[in-house]
């Protein structure tokens, strides 16, 4: 069983671990989709973009369902409070109580807060239970970039030769969203599989907010992951959300590096 120190270390390093993961990876090691962890990667500076003038606050709900061979189901639901201000600073407050052994070892809900502040040039991974955290320096080249996010939306899958389909537009949370379906095939024998495995991700992207507002990934190996933003509020969030609260002990960590490009 994990020690309490291991649990706190995992919570404090949540942001760093997310930054290092590939597209759509979850801490559960399961589906490759656009969940709240994917939102951290795309929304919190990992895509080299800073979205200014489009503030919001919302809830990001991720539902994971896996069907076992005996017909039983494993279901998990996690909810994150997310926000962005007009300067492009972002925050995610997420429970990690359902992350495998961490849940059993902790015995109670464990939270992790990620603040990405391109204005100050710092990102923070905070542990509210112990009032501790780690800071990571954002390289100058990644503070002011504002490349077109939609061009990068699903780009890694496209480069990998996946099939991409345009799903048109629909209104989600009162906003027009553009849909895309990406199907990635794992050839027979690549992972010990007898037949080809298709991993399908449907994503709905808001050009107005420059973010994914809804997605679903179906992966026969792990199950289905459904992600949706709800309770969207376009009012400027409280500035205090994007600063480290008083009383926190912050340890400096390494500079945030750009993840390797998809092959």
Nearest to 14 by CA among 5, 22, 26: 26
Higher-pLDDT residue of 37 and 198 is 198
215-247 pLDDT per residue, tens:
999 999 889 999 999 999 999 999 999 999 999
Mean pLDDT of 111-138: 90
Instruction: Judge whether residue 23 has pLDDT over 60.
Output: no
Whether the model clears a pTM of 0.85, i.e. scores above it, the answer is no
Supply the pLDDT for residue 139: 78
Mean pLDDT of 161-167: 89
Looking only at the bridges linking them, the beta strands covering 73-84 and 90-95 are antiparallel
Lowest mean pLDDT among 106-110, 192-196, 206-210: 106-110
Supply the pLDDT for residue 178: 96
Q: How confident is the model at residue 42 (pLDDT cuts 50, 70, 90)?
A: very low
Instruction: Judge whether residue 254 has pLDDT over 80.
Output: no
How far is it, in rounded angstroms, from Cα 218 to Cα 11? 27
Distance of CA 228 to the CA centre of its chain: 12
Instruction: Judge whether residue 149 has pLDDT over 90.
Output: no
Instruction: Judge whether residue 56 has pLDDT over 70.
Output: yes
H or E element: which one contains 133?
A: strand 132-137
- Exposure letters 171-193 (e unless 16+ CB within 10 A, then b): ebbebebbbbbbebebeeeeeee
Instruction: Judge whether residue 54 has pLDDT over 90.
Output: yes
Write the DSSP string, the chain: ---HHHHHHHHHTHHHHHHHS-TT--TTS---S-SHHHHHHHHTTTTSB---S--EEEEEEEEEEEE-TTS-EEEEEEEEEEEE-TTS-EEEEEE-TTSHHHHHHH-S--EEEEEEETTTTEEEEEETTTTEEEEEEPPGGGTS-B--HHHHTTHHHHHTT-EEEEEEEEEETTEEEEEEEEEEEE-TTTTS-SS-EEEEEEEEEETTTTEEEEEEEEETTTEEEEEEEEEEE-SPPPGGGGSPPTT-EEEE-PPPPPPPPP-
Supply the pLDDT for residue 109: 54
Report the percent of the chain where pLDDT is more than 90: 43
Higher-pLDDT residue of 114 and 26 is 114
Instruction: Judge whether residue 72 has pLDDT over 70.
Output: yes
Higher-pLDDT residue of 146 and 61 is 61
Residues 64/69/71/74 CA torsion (nearest 10 deg) = -20
Higher-pLDDT residue of 64 and 27 is 64
Mean pLDDT of 184-193: 88
79-88 pLDDT per residue, tens:
899 999 999 9
Domains of the chain (ranges; CATH) run 4-146+223-252 (2.50.20)
Supply the pLDDT for residue 75: 87
Rounded to a whole number of angstroms, the distance between the first and last alpha carbons of the chain is 37
Nearest to 76 by CA among 99, 50, 49, 101: 99
Instruction: Judge whether residue 259 has pLDDT over 50.
Output: no
232: exposed, middle or buried (Cβ count in 10 Å: 0-12, 13-18, 19+) = middle
Report the percent of the chain where pLDDT is more than 70: 64
């Amino acid at each position: 069983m994990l020690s309490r120190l291991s649990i706190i270390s995992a919570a404090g390093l949540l942001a760093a671990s997310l930054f290092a993961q590939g597209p759509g990876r979850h801490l559960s090691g399961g589906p490759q989709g656009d969940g709240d962890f994917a939102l951290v990667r795309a929304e919190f500076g990992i895509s080299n973009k800073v979205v200014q003038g489009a503030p919001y606050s919302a809830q990001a709900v991720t539902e994971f369902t896996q069907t076992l061979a005996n017909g039983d189901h494993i279901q998990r639901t996690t909810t994150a409070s997310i926000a962005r201000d007009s300067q492009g600073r972002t925050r995610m407050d997420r429970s990690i109580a359902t992350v495998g052994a961490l849940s059993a070892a902790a015995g109670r809900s464990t939270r992790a807060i990620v603040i990405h502040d391109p204005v100050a040039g710092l990102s923070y991974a905070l542990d509210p239970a112990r009032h501790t955290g780690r800071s990571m320096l954002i390289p100058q080249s990644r503070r002011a970039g504002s490349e077109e996010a939609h061009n990068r939306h699903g780009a890694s899958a496209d480069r990998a030769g996946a099939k991409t389909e345009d799903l048109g537009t629909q209104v989600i949370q009162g906003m027009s969203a553009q849909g895309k379906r990406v199907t990635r095939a794992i050839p027979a024998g690549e992972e010990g599989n007898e037949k080809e495995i298709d991993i399908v991700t449907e994503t709905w992207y808001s050009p107005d907010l420059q973010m994914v507002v809804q997605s679903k990934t179906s992966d026969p190996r792990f199950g289905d992951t459904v992600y949706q933003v709800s309770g969207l509020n376009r009012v400027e969030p409280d500035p205090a959300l994007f600063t480290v609260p008083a009383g926190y002990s912050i340890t400096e960590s390494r500079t945030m590096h750009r993840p390797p490009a998809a092959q």
